[in-house]
């Protein structure tokens, strides 16, 4: 089992799959226990099993992906909605419904192959689970943004077996004669419960929490609510996983104990011994079913079943072997589960509890619970910092109050209300409101604190792998008996995780690190030199909700140890360049704020003026080339255009300037516009990057920042051809992820595409 789990982990993080011709060799080692009986033979047999199983799963996964020639072409799919649609409102107020779809037929036939699609529908029809639809779509590979320190959406797609994503074309959705499958009725039931909760007369945020806790419908949970829970270190309460499954199993065990007593009195002695365990598993399974058997619930119920079944067959329940059995079952059933942070968090948490319990620190139950709570709070500091880039400073107190409150009152009461709803009792809304009552009282204060006391509640940590492992080693030593003089040295092992990240660009003059972040259809460029940092544009998204500043830029800056932005430049006011300004200003200290184009008046901002210049102590200098003070230009052509000089290397950041604006700039600045590095103007639009512009700038390296297969067709083929004719090297964030360029006067310029740094076969 150790060999098998190890192999599945290795395959999950491989840059490419093992070739088929190695299969006979793997089969030879797999069968080695037939002729060898040593532990090494058993290990290599398990290792071969894992390599073979993980590789075959990988080839199967890739074979079902949509083909490149089928991307972004009009396609018709017929099939069934197989998930609970997740609803959200766009910035324009349009309702977007996102759902998983199992196609029975795809036209053209040459594009048939994908077995699970993730589609988004913007029409007026209500999508329901189990419905049969004929939809016109444009599919593309399950792609995602790729940046240092950010959530990896492609990993989630691979983990969820998503073979293609796409948007349903306008007026191209036709509801077909319905089916009455059990799958449909099951998910329709979940949708009905979610709808009934959404109609309750309580706060919208609390309704969203109740929907997440009962049927795992996160439609009512916006990014703001997730941030509030993250600040308090309790966002795990919003996911139906081991914690809630465990509480329900405990309730089932207690009720099963009462049934066992009754069975014993009736003379069913053998049956009485297994009733509590079976009852616990049944309660947990029912809750997991209500939650839609998500990955986290499947993982939790597998682990729980291993521990309970061990006790039912008279084995030691709280054993590390049971954890190993659970890991083996999970990786065999879901090979790519090893790439999910939830997999490692779950097993590390249970391993910590088993390790603590093995030392028998206290025999009294209240003290055991308190010790476990403190121990897990300490464990989450390095683990949370490594996985999420920060930890809540009030998590121990918040969890001490809310874990029992939510787990022992809100969840059971809400599920009781759901049971009453399904049985047709009219009192179900009152019971659901009762379940929400503690949250109604607490949530307003929590939101206010999260918005006003962020620094008090949350610390941003970015420990390296070595620092995290060192801290976990210190944690493992805490319950071990040892002399007091040695014990006081244990905290020193965990000290490195609290030290600030060292700026990697600090020594020679005119040394800098330039990062073109992958923010989809938008722009965001970070320049760092000797402890100073400039951000040019903030990407797109919702200024008041989920945007690229919170999802990509801030995690990157924190991972780099940037705590202060010396300059924030907003080229112009278009959403794909400026939506994250307020998010940045509220999250970190910003020195100067410069704006161009139609960016609205802002108290802190001053307008860019052509000719303005400044210099950093490291030798890096800046000059604004546009806009001029005359006005009368379009928003794109009045972009704040910035030229940066890093030793002998020049960088040009032109915003969304178009050909007519380029003509004026070339006529005025002439040869001074020459720059070795350039951000592509207007994401590579055909309206920009004219021949006179390219001839004047003469870039050696151009970086296009655009979304993968975006609807605008950026970068345009004619623009790419112009740069290729000039001999310019081309990079694209859509294809390569974030593009990092290291500029050192003593070394050749180093270009590092993020996707190439950590390649995975499923990417």
- pLDDT, residue 725, reads 93
Q: Name the pLDDT band for 509 (thresholds 50, 70, 90).
A: confident
How far apart (Å, rounded) are the C-alpha atoms in residues 163 and 63? 9
- pLDDT, residue 362, reads 64
Number of folded domains that form the chain: 4
Three-state DSSP class for residue 483: coil
Q: Name the pLDDT band for 532 (thresholds 50, 70, 90).
A: very high
Q: Name the pLDDT band for 288 (thresholds 50, 70, 90).
A: very high
Task: Indicate whether 205 belongs to any domain.
Answer: no
The 3-state secondary structure of 583-625 reads: HHHHHCEEEEEEECCCCCCCCCCEECCCCCEEECCCCCEEEEE
pLDDT mean over 387-402: 89
Q: Name the pLDDT band for 268 (thresholds 50, 70, 90).
A: confident
CATH code at position 610:
3.60.15.10
Do residues 612 and 479 share a domain?
no
Q: Name the pLDDT band for 505 (thresholds 50, 70, 90).
A: low
Do residues 163 and 126 share a domain?
yes
- pLDDT, residue 182, reads 55
* Residue of 197, 205, 214, 209 lying closest to 235 (CA atoms): 209
Contact by Cβ (8 Å): 677, 708: no
Q: pLDDT of 359-379, one tens digit each? A: 866 667 788 888 888 899 898
Do residues 614 and 572 share a domain?
yes
pLDDT mean over 455-476: 87
Round the average pLDDT of the chain to a whole number and report it: 90
How far apart (Å, rounded) are the C-alpha atoms in residues 104 and 115? 8
- pLDDT, residue 688, reads 94
How far apart (Å, rounded) are the C-alpha atoms in residues 683 and 734? 11
Q: Name the pLDDT band for 421 (thresholds 50, 70, 90).
A: very high
How far apart (Å, rounded) are the C-alpha atoms in residues 501 and 338? 28
Do residues 480 and 561 share a domain?
no
Q: Name the pLDDT band for 632 (thresholds 50, 70, 90).
A: low
How far apart (Å, rounded) are the C-alpha atoms in residues 219 and 162? 20
Give, rounded to a whole angstrom, the gap between the first and last alpha carbons of the chain: 27
Three-state DSSP class for residue 182: helix
Q: pLDDT of 12-27, one tens digit each? A: 999 999 998 888 888 8
Q: pLDDT of 712-736, one tens digit each? A: 999 999 999 999 999 999 999 999 9
Q: pLDDT of 90-137, one tens digit each? A: 777 788 999 999 999 999 999 999 999 999 999 888 999 989 999 999
Q: Name the pLDDT band for 30 (thresholds 50, 70, 90).
A: confident
Task: Indicate whether 13 belongs to any domain.
Answer: yes
Q: Which residue has the higher pLDDT, 358 or 645?
A: 645
Do residues 606 and 733 share a domain?
yes
Is pLDDT above 60 for 483? yes
Range of the domain at 94: 70-179
Q: Which residue has the higher pLDDT, 737 or 531?
A: 737
Is pLDDT above 60 for 336? yes
Tokens representing 400? 């001490």
HSE-CB of 311 using CA atoms within 13 angstroms = 15
How far apart (Å, rounded) are the C-alpha atoms in residues 706 and 599? 21
Task: Indicate whether 314 belongs to any domain.
Answer: no
Do residues 480 and 518 share a domain?
no
Q: Which residue has the higher pLDDT, 409 or 269?
A: 409
User: What is 123-161 written as a DSSP string?
Assistant: SSSPP-TT-EEEEEEEEE-------TTS--HHHHHHHTT
Least confident interval from 133-137, 320-324, 502-506: 502-506
Q: pLDDT of 660-693, one tens digit each? A: 999 999 999 988 999 999 999 999 999 999 999 9
- pLDDT, residue 706, reads 95
Q: Which residue has the higher pLDDT, 391 or 731?
A: 731
Cα 564 from chain centroid (whole Å) = 25
Boundary of a domain, candidates 179, 198, 218: 179
Task: Indicate whether 82 belongs to any domain.
Answer: yes
pLDDT mean over 611-619: 93
Task: Indicate whether 504 belongs to any domain.
Answer: no
Boundary of a domain, candidates 179, 198, 222: 179
pLDDT mean over 82-89: 89
Q: How far lies 234's CA from each of 243, 392, 703, in Å?
A: 11, 9, 40
Do residues 527 and 625 share a domain?
yes
Strands of 613-615's sheet in order across:
613-615, 621-626, 641-646, 649-653, 677-679, 701-704, 729-732
Do residues 636 and 725 share a domain?
yes
Contact by Cβ (8 Å): 693, 500: no
DSSP bridge partners of 117: 101, 164
- pLDDT, residue 32, reads 81
User: What is 449-467 written as a DSSP string?
Assistant: HHHH-HHHHEE-----HHH
- pLDDT, residue 171, reads 86
Task: Indicate whether 237 belongs to any domain.
Answer: no
Q: Name the pLDDT band for 390 (thresholds 50, 70, 90).
A: confident
Task: Indicate whether 425 belongs to any domain.
Answer: no
- pLDDT, residue 534, reads 97
Do residues 517 and 489 share a domain?
no
Three-state DSSP class for residue 118: strand
Tokens representing 396? 């121990």
Q: How far lies 259's CA from each of 149, 249, 252, 308, in Å?
A: 51, 15, 10, 17
Is pLDDT above 60 for 506? no
Share of the chain above pLDDT 70, in %: 97
Sign of CA dihedral 128, 129, 134, 140: positive
Is pLDDT above 80 for 177? yes
- pLDDT, residue 553, reads 96
Boundary of a domain, candidates 63, 82, 108: 63
Do residues 29 and 155 share a domain?
no
Do residues 597 and 522 share a domain?
yes
* Pairing, β 512-516 against β 458-459: unpaired
Q: Name the pLDDT band for 507 (thresholds 50, 70, 90).
A: low
Buried b (16+ CB within 10 A) or exposed e, 366-382: eeeeebbeebbbbbbbb
Task: Indicate whether 42 belongs to any domain.
Answer: yes
- pLDDT, residue 166, reads 95
Q: How far lies 638's CA from each of 572, 596, 759, in Å?
A: 7, 6, 39
Cα Rg for the chain, rounded, in angstroms?
A: 29
Is pLDDT above 60 for 504? no
Q: Which residues lie below 8 Å from residue 42, measured CB to CB, with a gap of 6+?
A: 3, 33
The 3-state secondary structure of 2-64 reads: HHHHHHHHHHHCCCCCCCHHHHHHHHHHHCHHHCCCCHHHHHHHHHHHHHHHHHHHHHHHHHC
Do residues 602 and 490 share a domain?
no
Is pLDDT above 70 for 503? no
- pLDDT, residue 183, reads 54
Q: Which residue has the higher pLDDT, 581 or 271?
A: 581
Q: How far lies 624's CA from each of 460, 574, 639, 730, in Å?
A: 34, 19, 10, 25
- pLDDT, residue 206, reads 93
Q: Name the pLDDT band for 631 (thresholds 50, 70, 90).
A: low
């Amino acid at each position: 089992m150790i060999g098998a789990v190890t192999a599945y982990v290795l395959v999950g993080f491989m840059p490419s799959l093992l070739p088929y011709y190695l299969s006979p060799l793997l089969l030879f080692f797999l069968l080695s226990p037939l002729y060898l009986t040593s532990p090494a033979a058993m290990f290599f047999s398990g290792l071969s099993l894992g390599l073979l199983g993980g590789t075959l799963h990988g080839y199967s996964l890739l074979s079902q992906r949509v083909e490149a020639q089928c991307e972004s072409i009009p396609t018709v799919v017929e099939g069934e909605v197989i998930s609970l649609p997740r609803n959200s409102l766009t910035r324009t107020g349009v309702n977007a419904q996102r759902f998983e779809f199992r196609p029975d037929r795809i036209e053209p036939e040459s594009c048939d192959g994908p077995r699970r699609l993730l589609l988004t529908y913007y029409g007026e029809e209500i999508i329901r689970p189990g419905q049969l639809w004929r939809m016109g779509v444009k599919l593309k590979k399950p792609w995602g943004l790729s940046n240092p320190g950010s959530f990896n959406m492609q990993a989630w797609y691979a983990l969820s077996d998503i073979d293609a994503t796409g948007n349903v074309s306008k007026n191209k959705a036709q509801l077909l004669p319905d089916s009455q499958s059990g799958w449909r009725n099951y998910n329709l039931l979940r949708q009905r419960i979610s709808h009934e909760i959404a109609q309750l007369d309580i706060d919208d945020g609390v309704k969203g929490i109740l929907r997440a806790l009962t049927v795992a419908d996160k439609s009512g949970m916006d990014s703001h609510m997730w941030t509030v829970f993250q600040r308090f270190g309790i966002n795990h309460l919003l996911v139906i996983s081991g914690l809630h499954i465990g509480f329900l199993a405990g309730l089932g065990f207690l009720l099963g104990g009462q049934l066992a007593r009754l069975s014993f009195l009736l003379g069913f002695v053998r049956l009485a011994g297994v009733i509590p365990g079976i009852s616990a598993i049944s309660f947990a399974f029912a809750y997991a079913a209500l939650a839609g058997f998500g990955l986290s619930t499947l993982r939790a119920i597998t682990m729980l079943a291993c521990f309970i079944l061990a006790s039912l067959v008279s084995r030691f329940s709280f054993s590390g072997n049971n954890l190993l059995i659970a890991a083996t079952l999970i990786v065999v059933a879901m090979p790519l589960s090893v790439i999910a942070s939830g997999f490692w968090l779950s097993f590390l948490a249970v391993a910590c509890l088993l390790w603590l319990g093995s030392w028998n620190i206290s025999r009294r139950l209240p003290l055991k619970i308190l010790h476990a709570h403190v121990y897990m709070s300490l464990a989450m500091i390095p683990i949370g910092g490594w996985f999420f880039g920060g930890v809540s400073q009030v998590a121990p107190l918040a969890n001490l109050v809310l874990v029992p409150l939510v787990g022992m009152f809100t969840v059971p009461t809400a599920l009781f209300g759901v049971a009453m709803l399904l049985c047709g009792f009219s009192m179900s809304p009152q019971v659901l409101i009762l379940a929400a009552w503690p949250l109604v009282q607490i949530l307003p204060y929590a939101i206010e604190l999260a918005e006003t006391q962020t620094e008090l509640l949350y610390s941003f940590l970015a420990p390296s792998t070595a620092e995290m492992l060192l801290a976990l080693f210190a944690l493992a030593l805490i319950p071990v008996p040892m002399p007091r003089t040695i014990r006081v040295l244990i905290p020193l092992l965990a000290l490195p995780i609290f030290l600030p990240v060292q700026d990697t660009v600090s020594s020679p003059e005119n040394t800098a690190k330039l990062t073109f972040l992958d923010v989809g259809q938008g722009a965001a460029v970070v320049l760092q030199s000797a402890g100073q940092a400039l951000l040019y544009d903030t990407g797109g998204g919702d200024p008041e909700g989920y945007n690229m500043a919170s999802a990509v830029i801030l995690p990157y800056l924190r991972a780099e140890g940037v705590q202060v932005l010396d300059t924030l430049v907003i080229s112009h006011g278009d959403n794909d360049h400026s939506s994250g300004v307020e998010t940045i200003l509220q999250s970190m200290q910003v020195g100067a704020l410069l704006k161009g184009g139609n960016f609205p008046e802002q108290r802190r901002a001053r307008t860019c003026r052509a000719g303005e210049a400044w210099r950093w102590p490291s030798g890096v200098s800046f000059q604004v080339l546009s806009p001029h003070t005359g006005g009368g230009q379009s928003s794109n052509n009045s972009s704040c255009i910035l030229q940066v000089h890093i030793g002998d290397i020049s960088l040009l950041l032109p915003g969304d300037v178009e050909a007519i604006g380029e003509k004026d700039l070339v006529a005025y600045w002439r040869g001074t516009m020459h720059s070795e590095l350039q951000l592509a103007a207007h994401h590579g639009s055909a309206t920009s990057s004219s021949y006179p512009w390219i001839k004047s700038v003469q870039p050696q390296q151009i970086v296009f920042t655009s979304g993968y297969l975006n609807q605008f067709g950026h970068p345009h083929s004619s623009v790419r051809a112009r740069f290729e004719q000039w001999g310019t090297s081309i990079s694209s964030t859509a294809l390569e992820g974030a593009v990092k360029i290291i500029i050192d006067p003593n070394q050749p310029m180093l270009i590092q595409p993020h996707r190439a740094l950590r390649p995975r076969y499923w990417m």
